Amino acid sequence: MTTVTSESADSLSSWITLLLAFSCGLIVANIYYAQPLIGPISADLGLPPQLAGLLVTMSQIGYGAGLLLIVPLGDLIENRKLVIVTMAVGAAALACAALATSPATFLFSALLIGVGSVAVQILIPYAGHMAPEAIRGRTVGNVSTGLMLGIMLARPVASFVAAHASWHVIYAASALAMVILAVVLRVALPPREPAARLSYGQLLGSMVELYRDTPALRRRALYQAALFSCFSVFWTTSPLLLAGPDFRMSQSGIALFALVGVGGAIMAPIAGRIADRGWTRPASVAAMLLCLIGFALTLVFPLGSTGSLTTLVIAAIAIDCGVQLNLILGYRVLFVLGAGHRSRLNGLYMTTFFVAGAAGSGIGAYAYAHGGWMLAAALGIALPVAALAYFMTEPR
């Protein structure tokens, strides 16, 4: 088994941590490019408007399947090799999406793009393995900064490229970027051979036992599920609000608003340091309050006013910071439970709140359609309140 000493981890952290952060951002962006491009893609491919949501849903299904079926292999297969193979699947799928001329081809490509994008969830535990105990939270937080930047920048970048060229270009460029990045990672990253000697069936079966026998996993996953659902409600409904009669923003204006969310990425390295200091309990409460207060502020001023737009900007930053803070705290709690099942823990953690986030998007859109911003905001507030109520039952 290849190990990394504290000294080597410290010496590598200055640039390999940066490389891992950049890689996570570039890879995770692949599943978000389609969100602002649903209109032009569905129109070009002849997909009926009522089915246009599948362009995003298929990549989410692929990502969820990858979290359960591929990410746990990080406890079984040499990690660098697993990342490269997974990225190769994503690169091929992106190339197919760029060349797609029918809905079926694009939808199947989107499914595999989601599968290939789970490489980020192999890289994050890899960073945890690389880092010594004393700076593990900080290292994971720094790498997760890239993840957050990729999520938040993907939408405006896709909109900008499509406006000046074509949606085909963003997928073709990303396919090429994945190939180049895979080569760089193959050369730059040291190998990490897991100690586990299980069959694939035993590996998957052990995840049921892990979820059942690890209370910390269940709690951190459910806390993050509530906050990530809140995040999804906000970022699904706020563009609808801004484009509606109260604000009448153009797509360019909404893209600029989306860039505000990038401010939340500053929380990741701060969260890592907080976690390393052992302040997990008070920081968890702070994360939940950030999401709660952020959404509540949007109800203070009349919609369409300058004050309302200002509070929406504050809410975007506060909710993103809260979600990032709680995400890193969860990683820190789980990654100290043992290196032998770190990838499986990460797969279960991510799957739980990813499913909740997808549900939050759907329910949030339904709430906005039937009750406007008031109902959507009430839903957004209720989720962190539920997380706080559950947190109060946690033994000290």
The CATH number of the domain holding residue 334 is 1.20.1250.20
Domain stops at, among 149, 176, 197: 197
Question: What letter represents residue 152's amino acid?
Answer: M
Residues 241 and 378 in one domain: yes
Total structural domains within the chain: 2
User: Which of the four pLDDT bands, split at 50, 70 and 90, describes residue 314?
Assistant: very high
- 68-107 tens-digit pLDDT: 899 989 888 899 999 999 999 999 999 999 999 999 999 9
Tell me: do 181 and 282 sit in the same domain: no
Higher-confidence position of 149 and 310? 310
Same domain, 28 and 83: yes
The pLDDT value given to residue 361 = 79
Q: What is the mean pLDDT of the chain?
A: 87
- Domain termination site, one of 197, 232, 254: 197
Average pLDDT of the segment spanning 248-265: 77
Percent of the chain with pLDDT over 70: 95
Give yes or no: residues 134 and 4 share one domain.
yes
Residues 108 and 152 in one domain: yes
Its domain, for residue 323, covers 198-396
Q: Are residues 185 and 295 in the same domain?
A: no
The pLDDT value recorded for residue 335 is: 79
Give tens-digit pLDDT for 19-69: 999 999 999 999 989 877 777 888 899 988 767 767 877 888 899 899 889
Sign of CA pseudo-dihedral 179, 185, 187, 190: negative
- Decide which of 170, 197, 224 is a domain's last residue: 197
- Domain identity same for 223 and 239: yes
Residues 190 and 205 in one domain: no
Same domain membership, residue 48 and residue 4: yes
Indicate if 137 and 210 belong to the same structural domain: no
**Tens digits of per-residue pLDDT, 157-215?**
887 888 788 899 999 999 999 999 999 999 999 888 887 677 888 888 888 888 898 99
